[in-house]
Amino acid sequence: MSEQNKAVVRRWLEEAFNQGKVQVLDEICADDYVEYDPAYPGGQLRRDGVKQAIPIYRSAFPDIRFVIEDMIAEGDKVAVYWTMTATNLGAFRGVPPTGKRAEAEGMTLVRLRNGKSIEARSCWDATGLRQRMGTPPAEAGERA
């Protein structure tokens, strides 16, 4: 089961985020899925919100790339340590592109039920990344 759970998390990062195939979230995330991430306004999004956010981020950061550095699975949880690189080449939250490239590292703990993600909790320095890129922070009530 742990290898199957790791495969779900791998698809979450590689297919949904790196390739922009947001429809994969319908396959690998339960209907009641919640993603907690400091990059999101209010710090969390439901599955459909994540499906809307990914294209927004990929438009502003078309070369965004997550690399899985380490992954551990136990029971119904998978912990993944990742690095992310991106260049701000498109407008983001109404601000013209800065052209700056930055890197961040973080960890995400994913909880699964019946082979589907039900919760993802990411911990990383989204504010620091935005400062290095010169992009604005999320405002309460914004979509992504």
**DSSP classification of residue 138:** P
The per-residue DSSP string of 80-127 comes to EEEEEEEE--S-BTTB-----EEEEEEEEEEEEETTEEEEEEEEE-HH
Mean pLDDT, rounded, for 6-14: 97
For residue 62, report the phi and psi dihedrals to the nearest 5 degrees.
-65, -20
3-state class of 12 per DSSP? helix
> pLDDT tens-digit profile of 21-53?
999 999 999 999 999 998 888 899 999 999 999
4-18 mean pLDDT:
97
